[in-house]
Amino acid sequence: MNDRTKLPAPQIDPDDIGYNDSGNPTFDSILSSRLSRRDFLLGSASTGAMAIFGAVPFSAFAGHDHGHGARAESLLGFKAVAKSLADVVSVPEGYSYSVLCALGDPLAAGVSAYSNNGTDSDFEYRFGDHHDGMEYFELSESGKPHHHGHDRDHHSSSRALIGLNHEATTDELRSSFFLHANGGTSTLPRPAAEVDKEMAVHGISVFEIRKNRRGQFAYVQDSAFNFRIHQNTPVEISGPARGNALLVTKYSNNGTMTRGTLNNCGTGKTPWGTLLTGEENWTGYFFRNATDNAARGNDKSVTSLNRYGRSQGAASRHGWETGGVEDKYARWDISLSGAAASDDYRNELNTMGYIVEIDPYDKTQAARKRTALGRFAHEAAAFCIPKVGKPIAVYQGDDARGEYIYKWVSTREWHAADAHRHNRLEVGDKYLNDGKLYVAQFNADGTGTWLELSINNPAISAYTKYTFADQADVCINSRLAADAVGATKMDRPEWSGVNPANGEIYFALTNNSNRRTNPTSSQQAPDAANPRAYSDLKGGSKVQNGNVNGHILRVREAGNEVAATTFSWDIYLFGAESTAGADINLSGLTADQDFSSPDGLVFTPSTGICWIQTDDGAYTDVTNCMMLAALPGQVGDGGAVTVPGTNITTYQGKLPKANTLKRFLVGAKDCEITGVCETPDGKAMFVNIQHPGEGTAHADIADPTKYTSHWPGNAGYGSGGIIARPRSATIVITKNDGGRIGS
Ligand code: FEO
Ligand code: CA
Ligand code: CA
Ligand code: CA
């Protein structure tokens, strides 16, 4: 029997994945805490850096207005938005939103308006699906790149490009059913026309936006800047793994090229004005047949494939490999079938899983996969505050249960003129190809260590479970290298963000159903940095276990040096229901603040506000997903706490107050809120509403009354009205009095 005919297991949440069966210790078996917390804090304070950065009040950012009528606004002055299950997007009183662009909208001249009834095609020239991370790239009035304050004028807040991730597509039983008239085909083989649509809605959109005469933003359908990257777009492999034998495929016999970027989740904006996009749950799109281990001679590639979630016989998410004999379909079958790697796609999985750099201002240049930054389920790429003469650091999370937190440190020191070079991807080559990749180990005393992932590290070169050939192999198999050095297993590291006030790094740890007080071998016991394992009821009867609601951890580098190999940390916030017990609601969240499953996390430059976005399935019996605005303090502003009823001691930040944490937005039914960017003047904010209506059953496609959401059609956007098929979309939020968002 052809195992391709098996249906994939029902995917309740395709993001909720865990493959880490390494024996890495939890904190209580780590004996060597290098510094005591007290000494660490004293030591770093003595550098004086925290005394400067830590004291910057946020009102200082409110007045930092590049010369446009600077005034001191108090932040978080709005009234908190209430939790809601309504199929609407709610913003605070005094704010408004409009839809900027949605799945299927035309992105080139001559492409028809989206009919949204499953008959549309040409998705290579339309916005893709599942809008996720995004970044704002300034243009001058005459359409010149205008980033990072260089000759900035007021036009930079009225004309721009947005680089937008299209992570995935709403699917059930293989088919992205809202894209197809009858819901599409669940059985194999998948029709080529369906596969073509589904491949095209994944990837990136770069598009121009401009304010109209009424001062409202609209996207420019026929802008010469607009482009898409989809699954057939050529992309360069760059960095240490370029040309490596592990990247040789039938498409690229010398291992230097691939096609597409897949399951793009979080983003980063480089100090030189390019977009970084993280490839997250790419592994599930590939098929590997049930006899492939033996075909590979059970060599080390099998160890790698298993560690990255492709055990033999695993069905692919969409069955794209069955679309036809053409190469664009065949590449999704990674089974060994030819005489050599250049004859088949045995190595194709190694071409996904990177941070990819894109020049939004120049569509003629191929995107570059930055292999030096490691290969895993990437979320955001958060940049340190660049300092002249210091290396550049990039902070990253690997989102799967029990995976790790990583840091990249460039070899080259930051040179201010690099912010304004014309060949931006060459600048990327300089800072993102040569450097050191580290993984985080969190100690029980509130300190931590960055462990280098280098082929010269004896723990890696002498690792017995996988034999690394060279640094390229370390980059391609960074999860295995991180296992080898004893990294700390975390509660699904999602986005990272750097606080512009002090350079501290925040990590959203969304949840972990594998965190258990009495863990099995595939689960993790609570530790200081992941201290909660509890039970919660959903809908009054469904028991949810683990770290159900997630938390947000933050890190301060030793001496505030981005190249430091030690750090201190605490937990800024614990997600919880406001009515939960004190053993769960450790942050004392009120009904105006309570949230579950933090995911997107972005500090906006104009105000320094930390925006926290949720992708939740635990509290959704009470509320749709949301975005909160936060004014955090700094690492160490709270203290040690013991989780009630346990012997786990952790470090918790100062508790939030009513005016330092507030719910700002609640989304439509079954959506997640993800991605946020703003104009330089802070007066327009862009936010993504991803996968409204994803709880709809494939079988209900013919009965619109059974769709769980009709947004944004029900808000008057596009065709379909109150029975529209739901669409992922980007909204733009403004304040009715013209003020800064979050004031
Ligand atoms: Fe695409 Fe882990 O969020
Ligand atoms: Ca509950
Ligand atoms: Ca996410
Ligand atoms: Ca998600």
Which ligand neighbours the alpha carbon of 621 most closely? Answer: 2
Residues 302 and 416 sit within 8 Å (Cβ to Cβ): no
pLDDT, mean of residues 56-76:
48
Spatial distance between the Cα atoms of 157 and 67, rounded to a whole number of angstroms: 13
Task: Give me the pLDDT at residue 153, please.
Answer: 55
Which atom belonging to ligand 1 lies closest to the Cα atom of 280?
Answer: 1
> What pLDDT band is residue 16 in, cutting at 50, 70 and 90?
confident
User: What tokens does 431 get?
Assistant: 């800072």
List all residues whose CB is within 6 A of at least one atom of ligand 1: 15, 167, 265, 280, 379, 399, 494, 599
Q: Is residue 233 part of a domain?
A: yes
Phi, psi (deg, nearest 5) at residue 505? -110, 130
Q: Is residue 742 part of a domain?
A: no
pLDDT, mean of residues 587-609:
98
Q: In angstroms, what is the span from residue 361 Cα to ligand 1's centroid?
A: 26
pLDDT, mean of residues 554-570:
98
Q: In angstroms, what is the span from residue 492 Cα to ligand 1's centroid?
A: 9
Residue 272, judged by CB atoms within 10 A of its CB (0-12, 13-18, 19+), counts as: buried
Spatial distance between the Cα atoms of 33 and 591, rounded to a whole number of angstroms: 38
Which ligand neighbours the alpha carbon of 613 most closely? Answer: 3
Q: In angstroms, what is the span from residue 353 Cα to ligand 3's centroid?
A: 15
Q: Is residue 385 part of a domain?
A: yes
> What pLDDT band is residue 579 in, cutting at 50, 70 and 90?
very high
Residues 724 and 714 sit within 8 Å (Cβ to Cβ): yes
What pairs with residue 205 in β-bridges? 164, 228
Q: Describe the chain by its helix, strand, coil percentages, rounded to 5.
A: 15, 30, 55
Q: Is residue 359 part of a domain?
A: no
Q: In angstroms, what is the span from residue 477 Cα to ligand 3's centroid?
A: 22
pLDDT, mean of residues 460-486:
98
> What pLDDT band is residue 8 in, cutting at 50, 70 and 90?
very low
Which ligand neighbours the alpha carbon of 280 most closely? Answer: 1
State yes or no: cis peptide before 271, omega within 30 of 0. no
Q: Is residue 49 part of a domain?
A: yes
* Percent of all residues in the chain with a pLDDT value above 90, rounded to a whole number: 88
Helix H, strand E, coil C: the string for 716-738 is CCCCCHHHCCCCCEEEEEEECCC
Give me the residues near ligand 4 (ion), CB cutoff below 5 Å.
Answer: 15, 615
Strands 505-509 and 275-279: unpaired
Task: Give me the pLDDT at residue 12, please.
Answer: 55
Q: In angstroms, what is the span from residue 415 Cα to ligand 4's centroid?
A: 36
pLDDT exceeds 90 at position 131: yes
Strands 610-614 and 649-652: unpaired
Task: Give me the pLDDT at residue 477, please.
Answer: 99
Task: Give me the pLDDT at residue 544, please.
Answer: 98
Spatial distance between the Cα atoms of 650 and 552, rounded to a whole number of angstroms: 13
Q: In angstroms, what is the span from residue 710 Cα to ligand 2's centroid?
A: 26
Task: Give me the pLDDT at residue 38, please.
Answer: 38
Q: In angstroms, what is the span from residue 510 Cα to ligand 1's centroid?
A: 9
pLDDT exceeds 50 at position 40: no
Half-sphere exposure of 81 (CA within 13 A, CB side): 27
Spatial distance between the Cα atoms of 368 and 702, rounded to a whole number of angstroms: 42
User: What tokens does 197 get?
Assistant: 């649509």
Which ligand neighbours the alpha carbon of 377 most closely? Answer: 1
pLDDT exceeds 90 at position 55: no
Q: From atom 1 of ligand 1, which residue's Cα is the shortest distance away? A: 265
pLDDT exceeds 60 at position 36: no
Spatial distance between the Cα atoms of 478 and 470, rounded to a whole number of angstroms: 12
- Long-range contacts of 592-596, Cβ-Cβ distance < 8 Å, separation of 24 or more: 592/80, 592/658, 592/662, 592/663, 593/80, 593/628, 593/656, 593/658, 593/661, 593/662, 593/663, 594/83, 594/619, 595/549, 595/619, 595/626, 595/628, 595/663, 596/511, 596/548, 596/549, 596/550
pLDDT, mean of residues 459-465:
97
What does the buried/exposed string (b/e) look like for 573-588 if buried means 16 or more CB atoms within 10 Å of the residue's CB? bbbbbeebeeebbbbe
Which atom belonging to ligand 1 lies closest to the Cα atom of 263?
Answer: 1
Please state, in angstroms and as integers, the Cα–Cα distance from residue 312 to each residue in 45, 190, 293, 403, following that order.
52, 21, 7, 22
Q: Is residue 77 part of a domain?
A: yes
Nearest to 260 by CA among 351, 129, 384, 132: 351
Q: From atom 3 of ligand 1, which residue's Cα is the shortest distance away? A: 265
Chain centroid to CA 414: 25
Which ligand neighbours the alpha carbon of 615 most closely? Answer: 4
Task: Give me the pLDDT at residue 65, please.
Answer: 38
Q: In angstroms, what is the span from residue 150 Cα to ligand 3's centroid?
A: 31
Nearest to 196 by CA among 284, 276, 122: 122
Which atom belonging to ligand 1 lies closest to the Cα atom of 510?
Answer: 2
Spatial distance between the Cα atoms of 485 and 454, rounded to a whole number of angstroms: 10
Which atom belonging to ligand 1 lies closest to the Cα atom of 168?
Answer: 1
Give me the residues near ligand 2 (ion), CB cutoff below 5 Å.
Answer: 536
Q: In angstroms, what is the span from residue 434 Cα to ligand 2's centroid?
A: 46
Which atom belonging to ligand 1 lies closest to the Cα atom of 281?
Answer: 1
Convert the pLDDT of each residue in 263-319 to its tens digit: 999 999 999 999 999 999 999 999 999 999 999 999 999 999 999 999 999 999 999
Q: Is residue 650 part of a domain?
A: yes
Convert the pLDDT of each residue in 494-508 to its tens digit: 999 999 999 999 999
Which atom belonging to ligand 1 lies closest to the Cα atom of 494?
Answer: 2
Which ligand neighbours the alpha carbon of 14 most closely? Answer: 4
Task: Give me the pLDDT at residue 13, please.
Answer: 72
Convert the pLDDT of each residue in 143-194 to its tens digit: 998 754 444 555 699 999 999 999 999 999 999 999 999 999 999 999 999 9
Task: Give me the pLDDT at residue 27, please.
Answer: 43
Which atom belonging to ligand 1 lies closest to the Cα atom of 132?
Answer: 1
Which atom belonging to ligand 1 lies closest to the Cα atom of 399?
Answer: 2
Task: Give me the pLDDT at residue 4, please.
Answer: 42
Q: In angstroms, what is the span from residue 168 Cα to ligand 2's centroid?
A: 27
Q: Is 285 helix (H, G, I), strand (E, B) or coil?
A: helix
Using CA of residue 552, residue 557, residue 561, residue 566, what is the dihedral sign?
negative
Q: Is 371 helix (H, G, I), strand (E, B) or coil?
A: helix
Task: Give me the pLDDT at residue 556, please.
Answer: 98
- 682 backbone φψ class: left, alpha, beta (φ>0; ψ -120 to 50): left
Task: Give me the pLDDT at residue 263, please.
Answer: 98
pLDDT, mean of residues 568-594:
98
Average pLDDT, the chain: 92
pLDDT exceeds 60 at position 7: no
Which ligand neighbours the alpha carbon of 281 most closely? Answer: 1
Spatial distance between the Cα atoms of 177 and 413, rounded to a whole number of angstroms: 49
Strands 534-538 and 368-370: unpaired
Which atom belonging to ligand 1 lies closest to the Cα atom of 615?
Answer: 3
Which ligand neighbours the alpha carbon of 576 most closely? Answer: 2
H-run or E-run covering 661: strand 661-666
Nearest to 123 by CA among 218, 39, 24, 194: 194
Which atom belonging to ligand 1 lies closest to the Cα atom of 15?
Answer: 2
Spatial distance between the Cα atoms of 334 and 343, rounded to a whole number of angstroms: 11
Task: Give me the pLDDT at residue 15, please.
Answer: 80
pLDDT exceeds 80 at position 599: yes
Q: Is the pTM of this model over 0.95?
A: no
Q: In angstroms, what is the span from residue 455 Cα to ligand 4's centroid?
A: 33
Q: In angstroms, what is the span from residue 603 Cα to ligand 3's centroid?
A: 16
Task: Give me the pLDDT at residue 154, please.
Answer: 58
Say how many domains are in the chain: 1
Q: In angstroms, what is the span from residue 729 Cα to ligand 4's centroid?
A: 15
Q: In angstroms, what is the span from residue 503 Cα to ligand 1's centroid?
A: 24
Q: In angstroms, what is the span from residue 618 Cα to ligand 3's centroid?
A: 15
Spatial distance between the Cα atoms of 508 and 204, rounded to a whole number of angstroms: 23
Structural domain for 9, as ranges: 4-94+103-241+257-321+368-735
Q: Is residue 252 part of a domain?
A: no
pLDDT, mean of residues 547-570:
98
Which atom belonging to ligand 1 lies closest to the Cα atom of 377?
Answer: 2
User: What tokens does 490 get?
Assistant: 């975390």
Spatial distance between the Cα atoms of 290 and 335, rounded to a whole number of angstroms: 9
Convert the pLDDT of each residue in 206-242 to its tens digit: 999 999 999 999 999 999 999 999 999 999 999 999 9
Task: Give me the pLDDT at residue 31, please.
Answer: 35
Spatial distance between the Cα atoms of 569 and 531, rounded to a whole number of angstroms: 13
- Long-range contacts of 417-421, Cβ-Cβ distance < 8 Å, separation of 24 or more: 418/271, 418/272, 419/147, 419/148, 419/150, 419/271, 419/272, 419/273, 419/386, 420/148, 420/150, 420/272, 421/272
Using CA of residue 216, residue 220, residue 226, residue 227, what is the dihedral sign?
positive
Nearest to 349 by CA among 417, 400, 292, 407: 292
Task: Give me the pLDDT at residue 82, please.
Answer: 98
Q: Alpha helices, DSSP H only, in 69-181?
A: none
Task: Give me the pLDDT at residue 155, please.
Answer: 67
Convert the pLDDT of each residue in 684-712 to its tens digit: 999 999 999 999 999 999 999 999 999 99
User: What tokens does 374 get?
Assistant: 């490691």
